[in-house]
Amino acid sequence: MEPKVFSLIVFLFAYLSFIVFPHKRSLVAIAASAVLIAAQAVSIQEAFAAVNWNVMGIFVGTLVVADVFMKSRVPAVLAEMIVDRAANTAWAILWLCVFTGLISAFVENVATVLIVAPIALALARKIQLNPVKMMIAIAISSNLQGAATLIGDPPSMLLAGFLKMNFMDFFFYQGRPSIFFAVELGAVVSFAVLMFVFRKEKHKTAIVAVENVRSWVPTILLVGLIVLLALSSFMDTGFTYAAGMICMIAGVVALAWEKFAHKGNARELVRSLDWDTAFFLMGIFILVGSLTTTGWIDSLARSLSGCVSGNIFLGYTALVVIAVVLSAFVDNVPFLAAMLPVAMQMARQLNVPEALFLFGLLIGASLGGNITPIGASANIVACGLLKKEGHAVTFKDFAKIGVPFTVAAVGAAYLFLWTIWKP
């Protein structure tokens, strides 16, 4: 069988398996990559080159720093302070969502939900409030802001690696406002949706403080990491190595601090990291790389460009809508990884700024997961925590908040990007 045909069959089979067996996604991705190499559809050298090791360094290093930061209890203490000082329950929930978004811009989404969830659940128990809506709001707020910065979530890291964007490029790219401002505009508009959802929660309550800060060092380390990533933009303009190295070094420092300052078990901490997603990313890089080297990406881009008949606005709109709809039901990481080169080729063939299609694709893929309880890992975790508390979450429950929130956030960001980047 020709390598081109074989690579497509393996990719489609792997993608279908991601949907059917979501908890085995890393195993499927690695196994599919191994099959491609064994069948010589891609060489070992091509497979190694397909993996963006800078992105892998950012992901793993940031995971370690985020985990130690969470163990410091600083986020939990700050969340308690926010709830205690809110005017009423509605504003306590809304400020928790804002706080969730702030943390999520720099810490992986699932970790962010785990940081804020205990405070939200404690508030719900104290005032005898059903926590379902609150936890859904926290999960979707986390997913929204994860796209705002380079280190917020794997999809942002994928875009940065593909387009060679550094940390500061997420704020201003080629002299124009970038992803960060599109996300924040979406956050402002979608905040109005959350205000409407919680408008009836007017009673006032206070949470008895139970958290204490173990150490401020991890917070300083996280802030230092962000500053260094910003500075790395000037010495590694091609986004080739610096960001990954900085994150890995920061991760080693965080591990050393946890071990020697708090007698923590470094081996256990490393073992508890999200290695599933790390190996999943590596496998996805190889699978998509095989489609690129065998010419499928160019073929798909030409087909999509032909369908929109040179209408740039239609092409941009179609790309964002497809990303939102598909990401509501399938993992956005393999979808985005597969579509980034397609969007790049479409932009070139239609002679428009590449950022327009690529940024729109990221917004759609990152926020589309907010529509359903299975659309993003943070949603699954939030629903799992609610199930432990005895609260089942249906698709209807989630969609009643997720759909209007997503429409508001994506709509605002979509129009902003078109206004800034249209040719």
pLDDT digits (tens, 9 = 90+) for 279-326: 887 888 888 788 777 777 667 667 776 777 778 888 899 889 988 988
Rounded average pLDDT over 23-46: 88
Higher per-residue confidence, 110 vs 187: 187
Least confident of 30-34, 130-134, 233-237, 416-420: 233-237
Higher per-residue confidence, 102 vs 76: 102
Least confident of 132-146, 158-172, 229-243: 229-243
* Total residue count of the chain as it appears in this document: 423
Residues 155, 9: Cα–Cα separation, whole Å: 24
Residues 372-407 have pLDDT tens digits of: 887 777 887 788 778 877 888 888 888 999 999 999
> What's residue 209's pLDDT?
62
Domain boundaries, the chain: 3-279+373-416
| 122-to-73, 74, 113, 195, 211 alpha-carbon distances in Å | 16, 17, 14, 21, 12
CB 51: neighbour CB atoms within 10 A? 18
DSSP state letters, 245-303: HHHHHHHHHHHHHHHHHH---HHHHHHTS-HHHHHHHHHHHHHHHHHHHTTHHHHHHHH
Whether residue 210 has pLDDT greater than 70:
no
**Residue 313: both structure tokens together:** 């606005």
Give the pLDDT band of residue 55 (cuts 50, 70, 90).
Answer: confident
Whether residue 82 has pLDDT greater than 80:
no
> What's residue 372's pLDDT?
83
Rounded average pLDDT over 84-111: 83
Residues 337-385 have pLDDT tens digits of: 888 888 888 888 888 899 999 999 999 988 988 998 877 778 877 887 7
Whether residue 410 has pLDDT greater than 70:
yes
> What's residue 348's pLDDT?
86
Q: How many CA atoms, within 13 angstroms, populate the side-chain half-sphere of residue 349?
A: 23
> Which residue(s) pair with 343 in the sheet?
none
> What's residue 232's pLDDT?
78
> What's residue 172's pLDDT?
94
| 302-to-295, 307, 344, 349 alpha-carbon distances in Å | 11, 9, 11, 8
Question: Is 0.85 topped by the overall pTM?
Answer: no
Rounded average pLDDT over 320-337: 80
Task: Name the region of 149 (left: φ>0; alpha: ψ -120 to 50; beta: rest).
Answer: beta
**Percentage of the chain surpassing pLDDT 70?**
93
CA 17, 19, 24, 28 dihedral sign is positive
Long-range pairs of 232-237 with CB within 8 A, sequence gap ≥ 24: 232/166, 232/167, 233/166, 233/167, 233/168, 233/169, 236/166, 237/166
Alpha helices by DSSP H, listed for 21-73, are: 25-38, 44-50, 53-71
Residues 32, 44: Cα–Cα separation, whole Å: 14
Residues 56, 244: Cα–Cα separation, whole Å: 7
Rounded average pLDDT over 233-261: 82
3-state secondary structure of 177: strand
Residues 119, 68: Cα–Cα separation, whole Å: 19
15 sits in which H/E element: helix 3-20
Residues 282, 320: Cα–Cα separation, whole Å: 25
172 sits in which H/E element: strand 172-173
Amino acid at residue number 345: Q
Residues 143-199 have pLDDT tens digits of: 899 889 988 888 888 898 888 888 899 999 999 999 999 999 999 999 999 999 998
User: DSSP assignment, residue 206?
Assistant: -
Q: Are 395 and 329 in contact (CB under 8 A)?
A: no
